[in-house]
Amino acid sequence: MAGRVITVTSGKGGVGKTTVTANLGTALAKHGQRVVVVDADIGLRNLDVVMGLENRIVYDLVDVVEGVCRLRQALIRDRRVNELYLLPAAQTRDKSAVSPEDMVEICNQLRREFDFVIVDSPAGIEQGFRNAVAGADEVVVVTTPEVSAVRDADRVIGLIEAQEKGPGVLIINRLKPEMVRRGDMLSTSDVVEVLAVQLLGIIPEDEAIVISTNRGTPIVLDGRGPTAEALDTIARRMMGEDVPVYQPSDDRGLFSRLARFVRGGE
């Protein structure tokens, strides 16, 4: 059966597309899926760094497009998991080196050999974005609970709908339950109400993510903590498992509830 091509995009930069792509790819591979992650951010490649595979790049996506190497030669295997590969972007070229038709062709070749082809899109809505969504069957839109990020996500969802790639599904990244409780941050329902698309998952804000991306070790690799759990839940939902959206808990709220419980309730 042919695999699914899923593009991760956002419109706004810095909301966590690359981290989400690296972790979902790794989580899906841990669940036994054959996965390739594709860095479509030509000229500003990051996915290899976040996955800790930078030093193993020989060929890249542009080399494949230009016929310098075969697709198989450009794929880097992640030895920490079974069946996880990276197709890196070129760093010394720009997005004009690749056309949407090239991306469709590459995605079609990859889907023959993998269950999941996950494409990391560059920020923006220009050619790099159009390349990244060209070959997609489904689109995952990442946003943070900020008005500007939600506005850009809305714009991107409109563009995806215009290209008949479906409305897309939503990941809300870097949610701080405590700030939501205080009314200082958009809540999940605020975001979903504006964007009106299906919610795939919620990922809490977590300092451990910064450490893991700097080390090049996706946080789902060791599989502990709320963020790893949130990402793993999203991966399982992508595989079609009937699991509910992970709800980040308010640490202080939980702690105070526990404390009340220990004291004998009120």
Partner 1 sequence: MAKGVKIKGTRDGLLVSLGGGDISLLLAELRTQLTRSPAFFQGGKVALAVGARPMTAAELSQVCDLLGDQGITIWAVISQSATTRAAARELGLASASPPEEDRVNLEAGQEPAVIVRRTLRSGQSVRYPGHVVVVGDVNPGAEIIAGGDIVVWGKLRGTVHAGAMGDEAAVVCALQLDAMQLRIGGHIARAPESVRERPELRPETACVRGDDIVVAPWTP
Residues interacting with partner 1, by CB under 8 A?
151-152, 154-155, 157-159, 161, 194, 196
Cα 27 to Cα 54: distance, rounded to the nearest angstrom: 20
Judged by beta carbon, residue 31 or residue 165, the one nearer partner 1 is 165
What is the smallest separation between the CB atom of 246 and partner 1, expressed in angstroms? Answer: 27
Task: Annotate 199-264 with DSSP letters as a single string.
Answer: EEEEEE--HHHHHHHHHT--GGGT--HHHHHHHHHHHHHHTT---PPP----HHHHHHHHHHHHHT
Judged by beta carbon, residue 54 or residue 161, the one nearer partner 1 is 161
Tokens of 46: 């990051």
What is the smallest separation between the CB atom of 159 and partner 1, expressed in angstroms? Answer: 8
What is the smallest separation between the CB atom of 196 and partner 1, expressed in angstroms? Answer: 6
Q: How far is CA 243 from the centre of its chain?
A: 19
Number of Cβ within 10 Å of residue 64's Cβ equals 23
Number of Cβ within 10 Å of residue 27's Cβ equals 27
What is the smallest separation between the CB atom of 250 and partner 1, expressed in angstroms? Answer: 23
Judged by beta carbon, residue 183 or residue 244, the one nearer partner 1 is 183
Judged by beta carbon, residue 13 or residue 32, the one nearer partner 1 is 13
